[in-house]
């Protein structure tokens, strides 16, 4: 479209194939029309899968609703988390889940040096990628204010090399810990719990 001097409007991925059709010049229809049809077909198939996942979650894994209290966590991530961990009581501490999923840095300790390297990437790869994707959403333009977002922004603002990547991984790791805790305790999720707690402590002091 840009090569022919045209632009497509911004729109959600789900409605792209419908809204884009009205803006494609007639000369480009023979080439782009079939592509839009394929996009429309794939979009509908994705919706069918999403509806199927919703049904599975509600009928067989109601505990996924506890995890989905966190903004950005959908049926796929919640189901994958529950099915991968299987039994939440396998972990004595919630923070152990981050290490189990390979979201902690590998230590390369030698003498007085103890540098942090890349994450270990152990455990289930699919769940790790889903959590990283959720972290991107939390830190992105559509993510709401929360302890998770503030934690990531603090790390990302340090300006060090790969600070933004580290922020995403850090949020993904904290997210895994949070999801496990919600599963274990069945608590009502408060996005700004830590921030409010710090504020109350400061006011009390």
pTM of the model: 0.82
Q: How many domains does the chain have?
A: 2
Tokens (6 digits) for 85: 């961990």
Q: What percent of the chain has pLDDT over 90?
A: 67
Tokens representing 157? Answer: 């603002």
What are 47-57's pLDDT values in tens digits? 999 999 999 99
Does 53 fall in a domain? no
Q: What is the pLDDT of residue 117?
A: 56
Identify the pLDDT of residue 90: 93
Place of tokens 């919640």: 78
Domain around 24? 2-45
Would residue 51 count as lying in a domain?
Answer: no
* Domain shared by 180 and 124, yes or no: yes
Is the same domain home to 85 and 28?
no
For the stretch 153-205, pLDDT in tens is 999 998 777 889 999 999 999 999 999 999 999 999 999 999 998 888 888 87
């Amino acid at each position: 479209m840009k090569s022919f001097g045209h632009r497509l409007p911004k729109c959600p991925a789900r409605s792209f194939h419908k809204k884009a059709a009205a803006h494609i010049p007639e000369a480009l229809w023979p080439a782009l029309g079939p592509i839009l049809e394929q996009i429309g077909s794939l979009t509908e198939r994705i919706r069918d899968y999403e509806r199927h996942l919703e049904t599975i979650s509600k009928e067989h894994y109601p505990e996924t609703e506890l995890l989905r209290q966190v903004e950005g966590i959908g049926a796929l991530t919640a189901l994958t988390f529950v099915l991968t961990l299987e039994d939440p009581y396998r972990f004595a501490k919630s923070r152990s889940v981050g290490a189990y999923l390979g979201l902690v840095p590998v230590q390369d300790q030698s003498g007085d040096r103890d540098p942090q390297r890349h994450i270990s990437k152990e455990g289930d790869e699919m769940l790790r990628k889903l959590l990283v994707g959720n972290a991107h959403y939390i830190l992105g333009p559509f993510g709401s204010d929360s302890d998770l977002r503030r934690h990531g922004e603090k790390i990302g603002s340090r300006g060090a090399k790969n600070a933004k990547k580290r922020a995403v991984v850090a949020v993904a790791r904290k997210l895994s810990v949070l999801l496990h805790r919600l599963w274990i305790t069945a608590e009502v999720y408060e996005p700004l719990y830590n921030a409010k707690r710090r504020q109350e402590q400061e006011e009390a002091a």
